[in-house]
Structure 1
Amino acid sequence: MSEARRELTMLMEETKTTQRRLADLLGVSYTTVNRWFCVATRSDALDPPFYAVNFMRAYIQLNPRARDGLPVG
C-alpha cells in the first residue's frame, strides 16, 4: 500500500468520511475515488493524488459540525 493511500485511509477513518462523501467534497466521481483504494494489482488502481491527501489533512482539523456544513459538488 502506498504511503498516500495509507494516509488517506487513516484520515478518512478518523473523520468517518466515506468514499462517496470524499468524491462529493472533491467534485470527482465515486469511481475515481474508488480506484484510489483498489488493490494495486488491478489495472485501474491509482494512487490518491496529492490534492486529495492535502484536502483531508485540512478537513481533519475542522470540528465535526464544520465538516457537516461544507457544501458538496
Structure 2
Amino acid sequence: MKGRGDEKYLRGIKSHENVKKKLTATEFSQLEELLDLRSKSGSMHSTASFIRRFQLGALMIIEVYAARNEIVSG
C-alpha cells in the first residue's frame, strides 16, 4: 500500500537526479554542502527554541510555587 509520503519521496529522488544531471560535480557538491548547512541551521534554531521555552516553563513553575501561600490563603 502506497501513501502520499511515498509519492513525495519518489518525487524528491527524481528531482535530486534531475539536479545532479544539470550541475557539474563541483556545483552539486557545493549545493549538497549548502543544504547540509541549512539543515544544521534549522536544527540549531529548534534546539535553541526548545531550551528557551523549557527555561520559561521552569520559571513559571518556580513563580507559581513561590506564590502558593498567597494563592491558598487568598
Give the TM-score band, short-chain normalised: under 0.3
Higher Rg of the two aligned structures: 2
TM-score, with length taken from structure 2: 0.22
Larger relative contact order (Cα-Cα within 8 Å, sequence gap ≥ 6): 1
